[in-house]
């Protein structure tokens, strides 16, 4: 079983076919960065057309059992998520509406302070806001997973402790391995995993040691050492693959509508645009490289199977429905 905890590709028939070539059974795809509710609904509509156009390749995923159907029919189940709470605007009632439409993950922040929590690029981290706590409870109730991939440390730890259900960091790596601003401290990883949450390891070059030149061995060794420290059962892959996206999309991701200036992400103009992917992971056909790499660094078959998809499957099955 292969499940990717986060992708934001420029979707096309080519990529859908590559998903099948790579035997990817399920993916969590971003369908909103800074979109408001109405704009997000239009993105759901766009995906509905793709499901209609390519029924032999992809299907809508709403619960873990849909992955079983996808596997039985040689398709990829697509689960939706937001990298920002902008789709709920300032209305907690939209949480349930969006879950009904098919959303299964929502980040409480995207780099900046939001109405709910603090992003990882802010100087001061004030933790969950009053609205944030209410929204977390509502997300828990309906089965919309709290994602803290772009959130600051205090906010993430508070979310992990305040949430009645496990939360996720769908796409990031340990800060101790590579000190990118968005990678996560041991305290954050511990707070998430000890509360049965999930960490998805990213292959986005800005989050890799040596960036594009990161070796497969280094990446897989990092996963193995993280498993040693925090346990393997709450670890997965969240590639953050942005395949075929034009550089203008990076500007939308980072800038949205909140500033008139260009935000260079990690801090310099050299970080503008999408960086080249490492040679061992160019697209969805290369998941076997990660799988083989995990074996090469000493992980056993059960551990490899967990990281490649079974841990995400268990997490999906326990957290996508109404609160038990």
CATH number of 3-319: 3.20.20.140
Dihedral-angle region of residue 310 (phi above 0 means left; psi in -120 to 50 means alpha; beta otherwise): alpha
Q: What is the mean pLDDT of the chain?
A: 95
- pLDDT for 102-125, tens place per residue? 999 999 999 999 999 999 999 999
3-state SS of 64-90 is CHHHHHHHHCCCEEEEEEECCCHHHCC
**pLDDT band at 54, cuts 50/70/90?**
very high
Q: To the nearest 10°, the Cα dihedral for 184, 190, 191, 192?
A: 70
Q: What is the DSSP letter of 283?
A: S
Q: Mind listing the pLDDT tens digit for each residue in 175-218?
A: 999 999 999 999 999 999 999 999 999 999 999 999 999 999 99
Say whether pLDDT at 269 is over 60.
no
The C-alpha R_g of the chain, in whole angstroms, comes to: 18
Extents of the domains making up the chain: 3-319
């Amino acid at each position: 079983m292969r499940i990717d905890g986060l992708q934001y590709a420029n979707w096309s028939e080519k990529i859908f076919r590559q998903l099948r070539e790579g035997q990817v059974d399920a993916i969590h795809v971003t369908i909103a960065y800074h979109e408001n509710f109405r704009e997000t609904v239009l993105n759901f509509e766009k995906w509905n057309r793709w499901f209609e156009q390519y029924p032999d390749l992809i299907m809508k995923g709403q619960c873990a059992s849909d992955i079983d159907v996808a596997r039985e029919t040689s398709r990829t189940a697509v689960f939706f998520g937001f990298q920002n709470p902008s789709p709920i605007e300032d209305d907690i009632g939209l949480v349930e509406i969006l879950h009904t439409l098919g959303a299964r993950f929502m980040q409480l922040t995207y780099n900046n302070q939001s109405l709910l929590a603090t992003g990882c690029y802010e100087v001061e981290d004030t933790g969950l806001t009053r609205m944030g706590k209410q929204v977390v409870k509502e997300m828990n109730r309906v089965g919309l997973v709290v994602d803290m991939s772009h959130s600051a440390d205090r906010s993430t730890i508070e979310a992990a402790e305040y949430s009645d259900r496990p939360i996720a960091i769908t796409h990031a790596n340990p800060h101790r391995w590579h000190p990118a601003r968005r990678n996560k401290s041991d305290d954050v990883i511990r707070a998430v995993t000890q509360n049965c949450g999930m960490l998805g390891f990213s292959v986005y070059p800005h989050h890799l040691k040596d960036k594009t030149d990161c070796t497969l061995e280094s990446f897989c060794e990092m996963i193995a050492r993280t498993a040693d420290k925090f346990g393997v059962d709450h670890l997965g892959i969240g590639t953050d693959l942005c395949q075929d996206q034009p550089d203008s999309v990076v500007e939308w991701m980072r800038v949205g509508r909140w500033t008139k200036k260009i935000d260079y992400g990690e801090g310099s103009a050299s970080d503008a645009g999408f960086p080249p992917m490492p040679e061992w992971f160019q697209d969805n056909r290369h998941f076997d490289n990660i799988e083989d790499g995990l074996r090469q660094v000493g992980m056993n078959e059960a551990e490899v199977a967990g990281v490649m998809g079974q841990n995400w499957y268990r997490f999906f099955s326990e957290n996508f429905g109404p609160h038990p």
